[in-house]
Amino acid sequence: MTDTLLGSGIPFADVRWSSKVAMQGPGIQVTYEQLGKDTSTVQDALRRENLTRVAISLPFGVAQVVAMCGAIAARAVYVPIDETQAMERNLLIVQTACVQAVLCHAESLWLQCPRQPHLVTPLHVHELVLVTWTDASSTSSSSLHPNPLLEHPDAMYVLFTSGSTGVPKGVVGTRRATLNRLQWMWHAFPFQPHDKVLRSTKLTFVDAMWEILGTLSHGQTLVVVPFTGFTPPLVADLARGLSVIAAFRVTRLTLVPSVLQMLLHAAASFPQTIQTFVVSGETLRPQLLQQALQAAAPTATVLNLYGSTEVGGDVTCASFSRQSTTSDQIESWGVVGVPIGKAIQHTKLMLMDKDGVVSCTRGELWVAGPGLALGYLNPSDTIDKFVHVGSDLWFKTGDECVWRGDVLFYSGRVDSQVKIGGISIHLDAVEACFDMYLHQHFQHRPWHVGAVAISMSKHCLQLDTVVVYVGIAGGAATFTSIHSQAALASLFNGHVVVPVWVVVIERTAFPLTSTGKTHRRQLLELYNQTNKGNKSTPEYKDKLTSILMAHLDMPSSTAAVVDEMTLVELGGNSLVATMVLHDLRTQCGLATLELADVVQPPSP
């Protein structure tokens, strides 16, 4: 079975499984025999056109899974696209990854984009169409002369990480890395015959690989929530997602800690069928782990996985359950955090101190082994992060870790990077953007700029908002809200959207270190003193404002301008939107309200 994943066959075409259910959900029942036929249809179409690099721009559903498996079977490098991102960003991804065609639906935004001319070929399976460009001049020269990494025999996919400047960095993953990750999981946490896995992670994230291939390559059932969008089902419609989990008795769920927090807050009955919670992508806090273990089924296990796209997903794992984890342990982790555990199979870990010397206690985590990607599409990025030491190739994660015995703990970044909703944000880059704007418009006035990441949601322990402090003489009377909006407009170049607040203070009040640099810790203290000092809960005449303020940790004065701001501008993200939607439905009787109604600004 695993050999076909590395070869050119269908990765799950075992005749013993032909009548077994591969995918199911409300109105969905796909056997392995049918999945094999559908996958072969996509495989044949790609081979017929001699396509070796294909984008997959499909919402959650059966078609998305079939397209991915078909590309793998055809040995075409696949590039997932998220249509909720700006088209400008997605066009850049297609160009950078030298994409030759797109697998999508007929109503896809790709058929409305200006890249012409194109040919649309219906595949007659799950309404899939194959979009190819009929004129070489309409494609970039990179499609004709692709990056050498894309022609590597082991190249399997390209996933793009989102940087704080909005310029995505393509990472070329391999079959070898995928196979190592799958085999480790199958051995360390083997499936039981009745196990079912929820399809819940965006295809643009590496964890989707385990959900789909880890399940289907082992003959298990993948539970799919019928949905027409690109938003994960639990975020798009929490109540519906939970009902599907219960109805189809899902036993394994992959999620980030912020979604776990959302489930704990919004679910009247925490899903009791789940036996394995696979948690990764963000820092798992001790308090959240304790809450999850208390709410889950007594026999449930929480896995805290650590990794990144560059190392094939996950390279360390720590396992927790009610039986194995004591309250004293969790309390002791309040200072150092929840352990990220030990290395998975065939993986080497090394801590490097600031002087470039291997440390037995603390340092930047370096990773070696079969999980490593081939590199970035940008060679200079590869040279910077992938280094040879002896006979091994190592990836420098940029994460500072600590050994306590033989168990690893994550303690932060060696640079200014933070993660918000899975998006990597470099606070230095945010500050540089504001510095540039200030230099252009206030070059005769001295200023200071500092950026910090905070949790705006009252219920979420994860970072979800960037706060930019501008210190300038005259404060907000000098750097007005108009200036703030103009600076923000240039921040992410339309590629990435994360909540950002701008706070303007007097220059003399701006905290600096003894060397004159921004003192981020004191900026965080300043924010907490200013915005979290008042613990009283004000009452609001307007029900909508009350619901918003119940979920967003902002000054009560903000209520006056709620009607003029979008949820993102207020500091909310998709997870906060899901909780707001839940309360609007249950408290206001708005049963037909959808997530898009909460997130999208009204038409002018």
For residue 127, the domain's CATH number is 3.40.50.12780
- 517 with 548, same domain: the answer is no
Q: State how many domains the chain has.
A: 3
- Looking at residue 321, what is its pLDDT? 97
Domain that holds residue 587: 543-599
Cβ(9)–Cβ(40) below 8 Å: no
81 in a structural domain? yes
472 in a structural domain? yes
Q: 266-273: long-range contacts (C-beta < 8 A, 24 or more apart)?
A: 266/238, 266/578, 266/579, 266/582, 267/238, 267/242, 270/295, 270/296, 271/242, 271/245, 271/246, 271/296, 272/296, 272/297, 273/245, 273/246, 273/249, 273/297
Domain boundary at 497, 531, 565, which?
Answer: 531
- Looking at residue 604, what is its pLDDT? 47
Domain boundary at 531, 557, 581, which?
Answer: 531
Element (H, E) at 67: helix 62-73
Cβ(320)–Cβ(289) below 8 Å: yes
- 435 with 573, same domain: the answer is no
Q: Largest alpha-carbon pair distance within the chain?
A: 76
pTM: 0.81
The first and second tokens of residue 273, run together, are 């069928």
State the amino acid at position 109 in one-letter form: L
393 in a structural domain? no
- 446 with 562, same domain: the answer is no
Domain boundary at 473, 505, 531, which?
Answer: 531
Angstrom distance (rounded) from CA 99 to CA 402: 41
- Looking at residue 1, what is its pLDDT? 42
- 503 with 590, same domain: the answer is no
315 in a structural domain? no
- 477 with 560, same domain: the answer is no
Angle, alpha carbons 212-259-189 (nearest 5°): 45
Angstrom distance (rounded) from CA 554 to CA 531: 6
- Looking at residue 118, what is its pLDDT? 79
Give how far the C-alpha of residue 579 lies from the chain's centroid of Cα atoms, to the nearest Å: 19
- 181 with 50, same domain: the answer is yes
- Looking at residue 85, what is its pLDDT? 85
- 459 with 592, same domain: the answer is no
CA dihedral sign, ordered 289, 294, 296, 297: positive
- Looking at residue 155, what is its pLDDT? 98
106 in a structural domain? yes
404 in a structural domain? no
Angstrom distance (rounded) from CA 340 to CA 283: 9
Residues of the chain where predicted confidence (pLDDT) is lower than 50: 1-3, 137-139, 141, 164, 534-537, 540, 555-560, 603-604
- 105 with 211, same domain: the answer is yes
Q: What's the CATH code of the domain at 477? A: 3.30.300.30
- 157 with 242, same domain: the answer is yes
The first and second tokens of residue 514, run together, are 């003894």
324 in a structural domain? no
User: Taking Cα atoms as reference points, which of 589, 583, 596 lies closest to residue 239?
Assistant: 583
- 471 with 593, same domain: the answer is no
- 145 with 61, same domain: the answer is yes
558 in a structural domain? yes
- Looking at residue 516, what is its pLDDT? 72
- 30 with 169, same domain: the answer is yes
